[in-house]
């Protein structure tokens, strides 16, 4: 979406109404203006754990309006000193493995330990096709009724980078609102795991029984990222298959190098439906946090992640500037044609555009 400077100015301006609006729109405009919260109100509400205000702040994070983005940044900066005090857990697995059922079970377990849980999602499919793998179906019904749970679906966005950034900012707000457990769910089918990996402390991969095929179906890098591999659906007539899968994954993990965290990945079975193995997984997560805090890896990783996002944001910002530049847009079309027709070499063509952008 693009916003002209003119529109932008209007939305930033004082309470005067644009002259050519119809009365209904005018009413709406005034109502909206009245309701708009200040940065201070947002921060105060978030710190109090007010879920309505937290939700509205996240909507602001997800907005593409430049004026909202400026406000978002101020809210996040002010919340930053109150954030970070949580355990951030990434949960991934192919569609149908049981992610929502599992998160529902784990979430309830964690709430019973008197912790507050926020569940966020990164769904790359929703940003590309508008359809969502994580599902428009009503998910985590019971968990969503808990007052100590906060569930937010994946933000829509044009790019994975954009969606990931919004999720990362949402994590910070949830933490400032007192959610000391944050689950970030993603579909185990592609690059979104890398994005999630760079915003969580701990990564859990859910698997289905029937390991042989599965091990090949899931990208190797994803298995390597995991701190826990849990073979779900270990119940009924799938119990034996699940146990076999556990054995196979354990064998496969032996071949992998020691993790940088210094803590070996664990493989176990669970049943989200029968709620078995869930408490054990939570214990392992806490144990991993304890050990990695002790050996400092936990803090090192968080620092590295902050730097990663700094550079991501610089990269994305520069790209945005570049591609929005009118001169570049026109010339890029011509150059793309030339490259496709084999008249230009991609590298020299890119150099020409970059030099043009830099006014060289």
Q: To the nearest 5 percent, what fractions of the chain are helix, strand and coil? A: 60, 10, 30
**Residues pairing with 32 in the sheet:** none
Task: Look at residues 308, 233, 299, 295 and name the one whose alpha carbon lies nearest to residue 264.
Answer: 295
Which residue of 45, 90, 93, 209 would you call a contact of ligand GDP, by CB under 6 A? 93
CB of 200 to ligand GDP, least distance (A): 18
- Smaller CB separation from ligand GDP, 18 or 236: 236
C-beta nearest to ligand GDP: residue:
98
Contacts of 174 (CB under 8 A, 6+ apart): 54, 86, 118, 120, 150, 182
CB of 221 to ligand GDP, least distance (A): 20
Q: Is 119 helix (H, G, I), strand (E, B) or coil?
A: strand
Contact flag: residue 241 with ligand GDP (CB under 6 A) = no
Contact flag: residue 99 with ligand GDP (CB under 6 A) = yes
Contact flag: residue 123 with ligand GDP (CB under 6 A) = no
Determine contact, residues 214/246, Cβ cutoff 8 Å: no
Per rule CB under 6 A, count of chain residues that contact ligand GDP = 15
Alpha-carbon separation of residue 334 from 19, 28, 341, 345 (angstroms): 41, 44, 11, 13
Which residue of 23, 81, 96, 359 would you call a contact of ligand GDP, by CB under 6 A? 96
Distance CA 96, CA 275 (A): 17
Apex CA 275: angle with CA 55 and CA 267, to 5°?
95
Which residue of 252, 273, 291, 350 would you call a contact of ligand GDP, by CB under 6 A? 273
Residue 163 CA neighbour count, 13 Å, CB half: 28
Mask for 47-86, x = binds ligand GDP (CB under 6 A): ----------------------------------------
CB of 259 to ligand GDP, least distance (A): 25
CB of 32 to ligand GDP, least distance (A): 36
Contact flag: residue 272 with ligand GDP (CB under 6 A) = yes
Determine contact, residues 17/116, Cβ cutoff 8 Å: no
- Smaller CB separation from ligand GDP, 97 or 195: 97
Alpha-carbon separation of residue 130 from 153, 155, 158, 159, 356 (angstroms): 13, 11, 9, 11, 35
Residues 210-239 that bind ligand GDP (CB under 6 A): 232-233, 235-236
Which residue of 72, 83, 92, 101 would you call a contact of ligand GDP, by CB under 6 A? 101
- Smaller CB separation from ligand GDP, 177 or 206: 206
Sites of contact with ligand GDP (CB under 6 A): 93, 95-101, 232-233, 235-236, 271-273
């Amino acid at each position: 979406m693009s916003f002209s400077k003119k529109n932008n100015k209007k939305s930033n301006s004082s309470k005067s109404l644009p002259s050519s609006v119809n009365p209904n729109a005018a009413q709406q405009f005034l109502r909206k203006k009245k309701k708009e919260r200040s940065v201070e109100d947002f921060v105060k509400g978030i710190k109090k754990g007010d879920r309505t205000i937290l939700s509205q702040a996240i909507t602001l994070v997800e907005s593409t309006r430049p004026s909202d983005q400026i406000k978002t940044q101020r809210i996040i900066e002010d919340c930053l000193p109150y954030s970070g005090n949580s355990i951030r857990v990434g949960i991934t697995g192919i569609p149908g493995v049981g992610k929502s059922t599992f998160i529902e079970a784990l979430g309830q377990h964690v709430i019973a330990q008197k912790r507050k849980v926020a569940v966020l999602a990164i769904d790359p499919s929703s940003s590309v096709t508008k359809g969502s793998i994580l599902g428009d179906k009503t998910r985590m019904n019971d968990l969503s009724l808990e007052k100590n749970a906060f569930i937010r679906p994946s933000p829509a966005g044009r790019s994975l980078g954009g969606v990931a950034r919004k999720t990362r900012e949402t994590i910070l707000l949830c933490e400032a609102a007192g959610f000391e457990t944050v689950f970030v769910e993603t579909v185990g089918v592609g690059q979104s795991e890398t994005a999630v990996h760079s915003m969580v402390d701990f990564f859990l991969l859910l698997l289905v029984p029937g390991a042989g095929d599965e091990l090949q179906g899931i990208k190797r890098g994803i298995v390597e990222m995991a701190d826990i591999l849990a073979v779900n659906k270990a119940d009924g007539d799938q119990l034996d298959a699940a146990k076999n899968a556990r054995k196979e994954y354990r064998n496969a993990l032996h071949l992998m190098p020691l993790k940088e965290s210094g803590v070996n990945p664990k493989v176990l079975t669970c049943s989200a439906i029968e709620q078995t193995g869930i408490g054990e997984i939570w214990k392992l997560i806490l144990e991993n946090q304890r050990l990695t805090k002790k050996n400092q890896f936990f803090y090192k990783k968080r620092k590295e992640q902050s730097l990663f996002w700094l550079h991501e944001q610089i990269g994305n910002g520069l790209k945005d500037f570049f591609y929005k530049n009118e001169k570049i847009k026109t010339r890029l079309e011509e150059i793309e044609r030339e490259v496709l027709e084999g008249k230009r070499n991609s590298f020299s063509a890119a150099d020409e555009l970059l030099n043009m952008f830099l006014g060289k």
